[in-house]
Structure 1
Amino acid sequence: MAFTKTLNWLHRLENAVLTVLVLVLVALAGAQIFMRNAFGGGLSWADPFLRTLVVWTAMLGALAAVREDKHIAVDVLQRFLPPGAQRAARVLTLLFAAGICAALACYGWGLVSVDLDGGARSDFGLPNWLLESILPIGFGLMAVRFVLRAFAAPTHVPGLSAPELLHDAGRAHAGDEGQAR
């Protein structure tokens, strides 16, 4: 029970950070556009900061998508397999995705360690290694989540996005509409 509470708290924190990042991104980008149009120039540090925010937002968004089992997946062939083979294909593809994310986390750590040793700073004063740290952290956490997802029950049927479309419910509902005419 305490683990579930902690996990829910972490998920809410992750969502809150993602929300704040998106709001800052939109507000700062809007301010930059306004300042360029109204005053002929903007904040010198804003464009590099916006690029960094885009990377952080993308990584946290991808992490949330994996958490919710709403990540991009190629499942065309999986739909035509029998249920047991579908399960095996899901496990294999998610473990493959975990391996790719783990490799990207290692490469991300290599990038961070180069800047950690070099001491380079961004245009807005923060160390580059700190700004890049989302890469190994994000990909590492995605790798863990893909492994956990591989052995958890899927939250959707491949190719279907709405719960009411699952199995016979969709056909029964469509049949009801046909009778109403």
Structure 2
Amino acid sequence: MTSLPEDPSRLFGEDDRDTAVRRVQEAYAEGHISHEEMDERLHRVLTAETHRELDSVLASLPAEKADTTSTISAAGGRIKRRGPWRVPRFLKVESAYGRVYLDLSRAVIEHPVVDIELQLGTGRARITVPRDAIVDFEDLHTGWKDTRYKPRRGSGTDGPRIRISGAMGFGRLKIRHARR
């Protein structure tokens, strides 16, 4: 059975639109397009109705890097990353039960925005972010305990933006900024 080629004139989903918005924003953050061009392209993405219109906005942008997504998973036990490790653009962490510890304070962060998706059943998680990081976790759904996070006083806007999303069943997420 052969599959039919995708019709570029057909409508697309919100995930496609979100991906296109992210690609335009990354192209701007990496210096490939100007602020005015980013605004114009975002307008075109947000008003596009077909794949063809969306593809025309993204055609001249650099291709997405293949190694920008990674998944760490364990049924139980401990998931731990610390020291000098390379943080992908998208990091998905999955654990049925156990502890998760991610230390980004000495990690190599090559992207202006890092998305961390947590899919945790039970157990706690702790994430240490760089001193100058900006943290957003409003898309994280917790089932039992609230997230603990105390923003740094006087933190600038030069650091990476760490966006944490996903779901945690039973357990607590603690986020803290590195001291050094």
Q: Same fold (TM over 0.5)?
A: no
Bigger relative CO (Cα 8 Å, ≥ 6 apart): 1
Range into which the TM-score falls when normalised by the shorter chain: under 0.3
**Alignment TM-score, normalising by the size of structure 2:** 0.23
* Structure with more strand by fraction: 2
* Structure with more helix by fraction: 1
